[in-house]
């Protein structure tokens, strides 16, 4: 029976909703949809893989050993004004960039929890991410592109990429050869996220290149029990992994399916948003493990499994080699991106009065989101929250060149009067803030 594309899409997501609460990752689904639209894509994909494999054979990661690459990022926040929580705070965006940088540089606190059988495999990927400070026209930007939409949500975007085009209510990408495009939007269906995120593999259509994350799971938000167990910003770590060529570690199939990486143990299924270290679904015959005479358990610690965020803590050396093979082939243009090349030539460090910094709303409202605004010529880079005893309760570093910063304050702060300090390297301003 031939089913019309739209109907088959509807069947897929209705079955997903029946059998799973939320699909963690729609990257394979999005790929299948694009192959349906363009069968030629399968051959394109094979060629991209061949070129990357050739690079790896000839270079053997020697370039990665001496370099750290920084990838400029633009975050497109696509929101409907009737649902203001879709318009997430700057501080969540900064926490997400920090999470990516920790995970891709193996600076994550939980790297120590990788089991001993795997810990020598955990890799510093030597890739960092920066919020762009130069936009495609060469103008200053804070790397955050907020776009109002009339769409109430984008749950169909894994099927049609609708969030990636202004013609369908989304935001157009910045040039994919210079920026990682990260879209944040609502992908809810029936009140819960339909999927957490999806990505496009390297070397495909630049018009849809990038990563999409549902707004409820964007950012490192360990305090957010509603977002648990995906509340540590690792949906983005996983999806950016796909964007750099990673596959799911179970190869999206049975034990003989591959993720094209030798040191990730075979597995026949995804982990289930948990941390089941007893699982060993396949006898491993890959040369890496066979030569050591070991049949390893499933690597539930890996960012490319479906484990709880608190369970994930590593990419492997084999995954690093694969990422660098794409970074030097299909994604090589990013190595020359000017997206984070902006330098401040003159910084006005003159005295700034507390009155000239605006803080609102004050008292803080229930969602604990506050905005600070200051004259453009002052470049602050840190914010700190103190109680009346002078104890530091919260801090965040940021780079903002547009004179404003929106932040989500922790919700465990009790009623009372507090002080927010806005700091630069040479000056600081203190503002009184009231929590009801």
Segment interacting with Zn ion, rule: CB under 5 A, options 24-32, 64-72, 97-105, 129-137: 24-32
Q: Is 237 in the site for Zn ion (CB under 5 A)?
A: no
Output 31 or 174, the one with its CB closest to Zn ion.
31
Output 30 or 337, the one with its CB closest to Zn ion.
30
Output 21 or 225, the one with its CB closest to Zn ion.
21
Q: Is 22 in the site for Zn ion (CB under 5 A)?
A: no
**Catalytic residue, candidates 23, 98, 204, 239:** 239
Query: 302 has which bridge partners?
Result: 314
Q: Token digits for 161? A: 């990429």
User: To 10 degrees, what angle do helices 317-327 and 41-59 make?
Assistant: 110
Q: Which of 13, 16, 22, 25 binds Zn ion (CB under 5 A)?
A: 25
Q: Is 240 in the site for Zn ion (CB under 5 A)?
A: no
To the nearest whole angstrom, how small is the minimum distance from the Cβ of residue 334 to Zn ion? 21
Segment interacting with Zn ion, rule: CB under 5 A, options 23-31, 42-50, 82-90, 334-342: 23-31
To the nearest whole angstrom, how small is the minimum distance from the Cβ of residue 420 to Zn ion? 38
Q: Token digits for 403? A: 């004179």
To the nearest whole angstrom, how small is the minimum distance from the Cβ of residue 16 to Zn ion? 14
Taking the CA atoms of 213, 218, 224 and 228 in sequence, report the sign of the dihedral they define: positive
| Residues sharing a CB contact under 8 Å with residue 191, sequence separation 6 or more, in sequence order | none
To the nearest whole angstrom, how small is the minimum distance from the Cβ of residue 243 to Zn ion? 10
Q: What is the DSSP letter of 265?
A: P
Q: Is 208 in the site for Zn ion (CB under 5 A)?
A: no
CB 243 within 8 A of CB 202: yes
239 is catalytic: yes
Q: To which residue do tokens 């803590």 refer?
A: 313
DSSP states along 298-362: P-TTBTTS---TTT--B-BHHHHHHHHHHHTTTTGGGGG--TT----S--------GGGSEEESS
Residues 134 to 193: which contact Zn ion by CB under 5 A?
Answer: none
Q: Is 267 in the site for Zn ion (CB under 5 A)?
A: no
Residue nearest to Zn ion (CB): 25
Q: Is 313 in the site for Zn ion (CB under 5 A)?
A: no
DSSP states along 204-230: S-GGG-SEEEEGGG-SB-TT-GGGTTS
To the nearest whole angstrom, how small is the minimum distance from the Cβ of residue 319 to Zn ion? 13
CB 145 within 8 A of CB 135: no
Q: Which of 16, 23, 27, 33 binds Zn ion (CB under 5 A)?
A: 27
Binding site for Zn ion (CB under 5 A): 25, 27
Catalogue the active-site residues.
239
């Amino acid at each position: 029976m031939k089913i019309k594309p739209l109907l088959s899409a509807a069947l897929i997501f209705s079955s997903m909703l029946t059998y799973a609460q939320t699909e963690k990752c729609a990257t394979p689904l999005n790929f299948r949809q694009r192959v349906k639209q363009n069968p030629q894509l399968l051959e394109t994909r094979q060629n991209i893989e061949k070129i990357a494999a050739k690079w790896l054979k000839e270079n053997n990661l020697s370039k990665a050993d001496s370099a750290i690459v920084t990838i400029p990022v633009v975050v497109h926040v696509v929101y409907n004004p009737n649902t203001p929580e879709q318009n997430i705070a700057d501080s969540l965006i900064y926490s997400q960039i920090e999470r990516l940088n920790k995970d891709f540089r193996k600076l994550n606190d939980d790297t120590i929890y990788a089991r001993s059988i795997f810990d020598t495999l955990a890799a510093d990927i030597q890739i960092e991410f920066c919020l762009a400070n130069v936009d495609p026209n060469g103008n200053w930007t804070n790397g955050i592109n907020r776009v109002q939409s009339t769409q109430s949500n984008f749950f169909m975007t894994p099927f049609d990429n609708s969030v990636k085009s202004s013609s369908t209510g989304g935001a157009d990408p910045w040039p994919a050869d210079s920026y990682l495009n990260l879209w944040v939007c609502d992908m809810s269906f029936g009140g819960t996220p339909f999927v957490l995120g999806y990505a496009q593999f390297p070397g495909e259509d630049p018009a849809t290149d990038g990563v999409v994350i549902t707004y409820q799971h964007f950012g490192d938000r360990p305090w957010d029990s509603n977002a648990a167990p995906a509340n540590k910003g690792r949906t983005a770590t996983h999806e950016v992994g796909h964007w750099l060529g990673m596959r799911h570690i179970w190869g999206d199939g049975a034990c003989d399916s591959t993720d094209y990486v030798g040191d990730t143990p075979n597995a026949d299924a995804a982990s289930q948003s948990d941390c089941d270290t007893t699982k060993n679904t396949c006898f491993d015959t890959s040369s890496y493990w066979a030569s050591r005479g070991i049949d390893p358990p499933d690597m539930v610690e890996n960012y490319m499994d479906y484990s709880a965020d608190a369970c994930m803590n590593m990419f492997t050396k084999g995954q690093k080699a694969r990422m660098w093979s794409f970074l030097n082939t299909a994604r090589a243009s990013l190595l020359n991106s000017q997206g984070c090349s902006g330098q401040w030539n003159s910084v006005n460090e003159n005295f700034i009065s507390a009155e000239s910094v605006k803080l609102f709303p004050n008292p803080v409202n229930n969602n604990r989101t506050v905005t600070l605004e200051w004259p453009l010529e002052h470049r602050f880079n840190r914010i700190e929250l103190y109680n009346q005893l002078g104890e530091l309760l919260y801090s965040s570093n940021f780079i903002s060149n547009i004179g404003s910063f929106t932040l989500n304050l922790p919700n465990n702060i009790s009623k009372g009067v507090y002080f927010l300090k806005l700091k630069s390297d040479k000056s600081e301003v203190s503002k009184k803030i009231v929590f009801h």
